[in-house]
Amino acid sequence: MATGTQAQTLREVLDYGAGDRAALVAPDGPSITYDDLRAQVDRLRVQLRELGIGKDDRVAIVLPNGLESIVTFLTVTAAATAAPLNAAYKIDEFAFYLDDTNASAVITGPEGGEAIVEVAPARAMHIVATMDDAGQVNFAAAGGGNGASASDSPWPTTDDVALVLHTSGTTSRPKRVPLTHRNLTTSLRNIAATYDLTEEDVALCVMPLFHVHGLVASTLSTLQTGGTVVAPPRFNPLNFWPVVREHNVTWYSAVPTMHQALLARARSTKPEVPETLRFIRSCSAALPPVVMDELEQQFGVPVLEAYGMTEAAHQMASNPLPPGNRLPGAVGPGTGVEVAIMDEEGTLLIAGERGEVVIRGENVISGYENNPEANATSFTNGWFRTGDEGMLDGEGYLTLTGRLKEMINRSGEKISPLEIDNALLDHPAVAEAVAFGVAHQTHGEEASAAVVLTGEVTPQELVAFCRTKLADYKCPRVIHVMEEIPRGPTGKIQRRFLTEMFSKGA
């Protein structure tokens, strides 16, 4: 059957799924067929129009993972621009994001969302989304707004902004990223082609739906090919494999912390992995080769590390499915996206030379919103500068060596924290490891590290272990033992937080 290969908007992506096939499934809950999903989105779009939401409006969405979140997102992108937000944000964070996106409305569930409603401007309508036992979503106005109908507002087009997200803001004020329908549908086609997705595929979405990883990779790319998305309310290692078996899941995508949680459980209780599982995808943070190897040994399917970022509507590169070569420690070749390496002056480098990773393609934004300074430094000769350092090999495979702003500069020697991470993870007593730079009076910066342990080993023994694997100047002089590594809401390690924490005592 036809797939969404020619879809120009996210609403058009839904037009190709077989009518009676399940599009969305909630474990222990309802399922929604493609016919039903299309009908719901069109019905709810009319509701938004009647509530005064037009094509140029921006709508903040604060909903937990699940069917109502996906249906709401698809509806908003068919009527206006979606701005999904993390429900765990605090009042000040909600106030910033509502103001920065100029949100005209806020959609919450019947419970929760009090913090965002409290700081929402009076002009912003509060809409409550509910879902009944049959999987039917409805919207109801709960206050705010002007009440004027926008029934004559047109459908969005391919160049309209479908989704507004923000960069993580770990090194600066968060930047506003406008993703058009063209950016997103291009990325969906690239992802579907990379993993040979078809209507027979069933994706388990365990990533949060306020982030491009869960939205684009797990959810929209599956809908693009008429497959089924299984959407539990949260990632739970305890019932993960029963859900995979019950719903005949063929793949899932997650961050390394989730993979490691599954491995920790598998070491004591080996799971029954169904034959339906085709592959496991990892993205949004570096996957240590030792973790990739153990995943494949424990679960018996290929593990494909990918490389993505918000500004590229998620995926830029990925290791391929067999019989293609899966290269541990690399994120594969570009996936419908041009990938190159550039020096500080804007010159493209040859294979084997290290520099900044740059990309271009129709999935990549043309610029940040209302941020000329960031745009001036982020784009060079039509290439988007990712801020990541890496190099390409002769086969076009990309290896990332770290964030440029996270590289450790010891007396002029640049040290990749990922290299130290991987060395420490080779020790059998180390479950997690994060290297980072701390201020040093003589060298400017010095390598340090934090670890989570599963066995008996002293920090001094770990320093000695590193010296058997790394040049002396790369070895951390101090290793901190922690109960857990600080991470952001999507599982990314907060290296700069550790730098700030431990530099105070340096």
Asked if residues 445 and 437 have their Cβ atoms less than 8 Å apart, the reply is yes
pLDDT in tens, 487-498: 877 677 888 888
Measured CA to CA, the distance from residue 505 to residue 367 in angstroms comes to 40
Q: Compute CA 283 distance to the chain's CA centroid, rounded to the nearest angstrom.
A: 7
Q: What's the pLDDT band for 73 if we cut at 50, 70, 90?
A: very high
Measured CA to CA, the distance from residue 249 to residue 202 in angstroms comes to 5
- pLDDT at residue 170, rounded to an integer: 45
Residue 164, strand partner residues: 178
Q: What's the pLDDT band for 145 if we cut at 50, 70, 90?
A: confident
CB under 8 Å to 117, separation ≥6 — which residues? 106, 108, 126
Q: What's the pLDDT band for 11 if we cut at 50, 70, 90?
A: very high
Residue 103 has pLDDT above 90, yes or no: yes
Q: What is the mean pLDDT of residues 120-130?
A: 92
Q: pTM, whole model, 2 decimals?
A: 0.86
Q: What is the mean pLDDT of residues 418-428?
A: 91
Q: What's the pLDDT band for 504 if we cut at 50, 70, 90?
A: low
Side by side, the strands of the sheet bearing 176-180 are: 137-143, 125-131, 105-108, 58-62, 81-84, 161-166, 176-180
- pLDDT at residue 3, rounded to an integer: 59
- pLDDT at residue 2, rounded to an integer: 44
- Which of 267-299 are b and which e, b meaning 16 or more Cβ less than 10 Å from the residue's Cβ? eeeebeeeeebbbbbbbbbbbbbebbebbbebb
Q: Can you tell me whether residue 193 is helix, strand or coil?
A: helix
- pLDDT at residue 61, rounded to an integer: 98
Measured CA to CA, the distance from residue 13 to residue 465 in angstroms comes to 52
Residue 403, strand partner residues: 388
- pLDDT at residue 37, rounded to an integer: 98
Over its C-alpha atoms, the chain yields an Rg (Å, rounded) of: 23
- pLDDT at residue 171, rounded to an integer: 46
Q: What's the pLDDT band for 89 if we cut at 50, 70, 90?
A: confident
User: Mean pLDDT lowest for which of 38-42, 322-326, 342-346, 496-500?
Assistant: 496-500
Measured CA to CA, the distance from residue 221 to residue 249 in angstroms comes to 15
Q: Which helix (H) or strand (E) holds 467?
A: helix 459-467
pLDDT in tens, 320-335: 999 999 999 999 999 9
Region label for 412, one of left (φ > 0), alpha (ψ between -120 and 50) or beta (otherwise):
left
User: Mean pLDDT lowest for which of 168-177, 349-358, 417-426?
Assistant: 168-177
CB under 8 Å to 6, separation ≥6 — which residues? 12
- Which of 433-457 are b and which e, b meaning 16 or more Cβ less than 10 Å from the residue's Cβ? bbbbbbebeebebbbbbbbebeeeb
Q: What is the mean pLDDT of residues 429-434?
A: 93
**Amino acid found at 228:** T
pLDDT above 70 covers what percent of the chain?
Answer: 97
First-to-final CA distance of the chain: 62
Residue 430 has pLDDT above 50, yes or no: yes
Q: What is the mean pLDDT of residues 9-29?
A: 96
Q: What's the pLDDT band for 1 if we cut at 50, 70, 90?
A: very low
- pLDDT at residue 415, rounded to an integer: 86
- pLDDT at residue 4, rounded to an integer: 63
Residue 119 dihedral angles phi and psi, to the nearest 5°? -105, 0
Domains observed in the chain: 30-179 (3.40.50.980), 407-503 (3.30.300.30)
pLDDT in tens, 432-489: 999 999 988 777 788 999 999 999 999 999 999 999 988 888 999 999 999 998 887 7
Measured CA to CA, the distance from residue 111 to residue 95 in angstroms comes to 19
Task: Name the more confident of 173 and 392.
Answer: 392
Q: Compute CA 318 distance to the chain's CA centroid, rounded to the nearest angstrom.
A: 14
Measured CA to CA, the distance from residue 96 to residue 134 in angstroms comes to 36
User: Mean pLDDT lowest for which of 117-121, 149-153, 187-191, 311-315?
Assistant: 149-153
- pLDDT at residue 506, rounded to an integer: 45
Q: Which two tokens stand for residue 27?
A: 């474990």
- Secondary structure in 3-state letters for 86-130: CCCCCHHHHHHHHHHHCCCEEEECCCCCHHHHHHCCCCCEEEEEE
Asked if residues 380 and 369 have their Cβ atoms less than 8 Å apart, the reply is no
Nearest to 136 by CA among 67, 203, 79: 67
The half-sphere exposure of 256 on its side-chain side, counting CA atoms within 13 A, is 24
User: What are the DSSP calls for 217-238, one per residue?
Assistant: IIIIHHHHTT-EEE--SS--TT
Q: Which two tokens stand for residue 362?
A: 């129709």
The half-sphere exposure of 368 on its side-chain side, counting CA atoms within 13 A, is 22
Give the residue carrying structure tokens 């009944």: 132
Give the residue carrying structure tokens 């069109």: 42
Q: Please, what's the largest Cα pairwise distance for the chain?
A: 70
